[in-house]
Chain A
Amino acid sequence: MPRLRKTVALLLVVGLLVTLVGCGGKGQNAAKQVKSEDSIIRITEDWPVFIDPGVGSKFSDSIALVNTYDTLVFPKPDGSVVPHLATKWDILDNGLTYKFYLRQGVKFHNGDEVTAEDVEFSMNRLLKIGEGFAYLFTRDVAGVKALDKYTVEFQLKKPFGPFLQSLVRLYILNKDEVLAHIEKNGQYGEMGDYGKKWLLTHDAGSGPYKVKEVKMEEYVLWEKFSDYWGGWDPNAPKFFKLSGSVEPITVRTAMGRRELEITDELQPLENYKTMDKIKGVDVATFLNGHNLNLMLNTKKAPTDDVHFRRALAYCIDYNAIITSIYPGSALSKGPVPAVLPGHDPTIPSFKRDLAKAKEELKQSKYYGKLDQYPVSLSWCAEAPEEEKLALLIQANAAELGIKINITKKPFGSMMADAQKLETTPNASLVFVAPHYNEAGSILMSRYHSSSCGTWEQMEWLQDKNIDNMIEDALATVDVKQRFEKYAQVQKALYDLCPTIWLFDQAEKRAYQKDYVYWPTAERALKKEKGCLPMGYDQYVHDMKVYPEKRLALL
Chain B
Amino acid sequence: MTTREASDYSVVNRYVENAKKAWYKFSRNKMSVVGLVVIVLIILSAVFARIVAPYPKHAGAFVNYAEANLPPGWHHLLGTDVFGRDILSRIIFAFRGALIMGVGVLVMVVPIGTVIGLIAGYMKGSLIETILMRITDIFLALPPLILALAVCAVMRPTLFNSMMAVCISWWPWYARLVYGMASSLRNEVYVRAAELIGESRFHIIFREILPNCLAPIFTKMMLDMGWVILTGASLSFVGLGEQPPTPALGTMVSDGAKYLPDYWWISIFPAIAIMIIVLAFNLLGDGVKDMLSTEE
Contacts and interface: CB of A to CB of B under 8 A. Distances in A.
Partners in one complex: yes
Interface of A: 247-249, 268, 270-271, 274, 320, 324-325, 381, 384, 387-388, 390-392, 394-395, 397-398, 404-408
Given A248-B259, A395-B63, A388 B239 contact: no
Contacts of A249: 257-258, 260
Contacts of B69: 270
18 contacts: A248-B259, A249-B258, A268-B258, A270-B82, A270-B259, A270-B262, A270-B263, A320-B65, A388-B65, A388-B82, A391-B61, A395-B63, A398-B61, A405-B243, A406-B243, A407-B157, A408-B157, A408-B244
Nearest to A387: B244
Interface in B109-156: 156
A271 B260 CA distance: 10
List of 8 A-B pairs having minimum Cβ-Cβ separation, nearest first: A324-B65, A394-B61, A395-B61, A398-B61, A248-B258, A391-B63, A392-B63, A395-B63
Contact of B82 (A268, A397, A407): A268
A274 B262 contact: yes
Contacts of B63: 388, 391-392, 395
Contact of B239 (A268, A381, A398, A406): A381
B24 interface: no
A59 B69 CA distance: 31
B190 interface: no
Given A320-B65, A395-B63, A268 B244 contact: no
Given A248-B258, A268-B82, A270-B82, A408 B243 contact: yes
A392 B157 CA distance: 21
Contacts of B68: 324
Contacts of B156: 407
Interface string B250-287: 00000001111011000000000000000000000000
A404 B244 CA distance: 11
Given A268-B82, A270-B69, A407-B157, A391 B245 contact: yes
Contacts of B258: 247-249, 268, 271, 384
Contacts of B263: 270
Which of B63, B66, B69: most chain A Cβ within 10 A? B63
Contacts of A405: 243
Which of A325, A391, A397: most chain B Cβ within 10 A? A391
Nearest to B66: A324
B206 interface: no
A388 B84 CA distance: 10
A130 B66 CA distance: 48
B196 to A, nearest CB: 52
Interface in B79-131: 82-83
A325 B157 contact: no
A406 B260 contact: no
Interface string B55-81: 000000111011011000000000000
Given A270-B263, A320-B65, A404-B61, A388 B243 contact: no
Interface of chain B: mostly helix, strand, loop or mixed: loop
A391 B157 CA distance: 18
Nearest to A267: B258
Nearest to B62: A395
Contacts of A395: 61-63
A9 to B, nearest CB: 26
A395 B65 CA distance: 12
A325 B62 CA distance: 15
Contact of B245 (A248, A271, A394): A394
B48 to A, nearest CB: 23
Nearest to B57: A395
Contacts of B262: 270, 274
A305 B66 CA distance: 34
A48 to B, nearest CB: 19
Contacts of B82: 268, 270, 388
Nearest to A317: B63
A430 to B, nearest CB: 18
Nearest to A388: B83
A388 B63 CA distance: 8
A35 B134 CA distance: 62
Given A325-B65, A395-B63, A405-B243, 11 more contacts: A247-B258, A248-B259, A249-B258, A270-B262, A388-B82, A388-B83, A391-B245, A406-B244, A406-B245, A408-B239, A408-B244
Contacts of A397: 61
Contacts of A408: 157, 239, 243-244
A392 B82 CA distance: 12
B275 to A, nearest CB: 22
Given A388-B63, A388-B82, A395-B63, A407 B259 contact: no
Nearest to A385: B82
Nearest to A390: B244
Contacts of A387: 244
A217 B261 CA distance: 26
B3 to A, nearest CB: 56
Nearest to B261: A249
Contacts of B61: 391, 394-395, 397-398, 404
Contacts of A325: 65
A391 B243 CA distance: 11
Nearest to A398: B61
A247 B259 CA distance: 10
B5 to A, nearest CB: 62
A445 B157 CA distance: 30
Contact of A407 (B62, B65, B243): B243
Nearest to B85: A391
Nearest to B239: A408
Contacts of A398: 61
A268 B257 CA distance: 12
Nearest to A409: B157
A13 B61 CA distance: 52
Contacts of B245: 391, 394, 406
Contacts of A404: 61
Which of A270, A390, A405: most chain B Cβ within 10 A? A270
Nearest to B262: A274
A391 B83 contact: yes
A347 to B, nearest CB: 28
A1 B65 CA distance: 68
Contacts of B259: 248, 268, 270-271
Nearest to A274: B262
A370 to B, nearest CB: 14
Which of B68, B82, B260: most chain A Cβ within 10 A? B82
Nearest to B263: A270
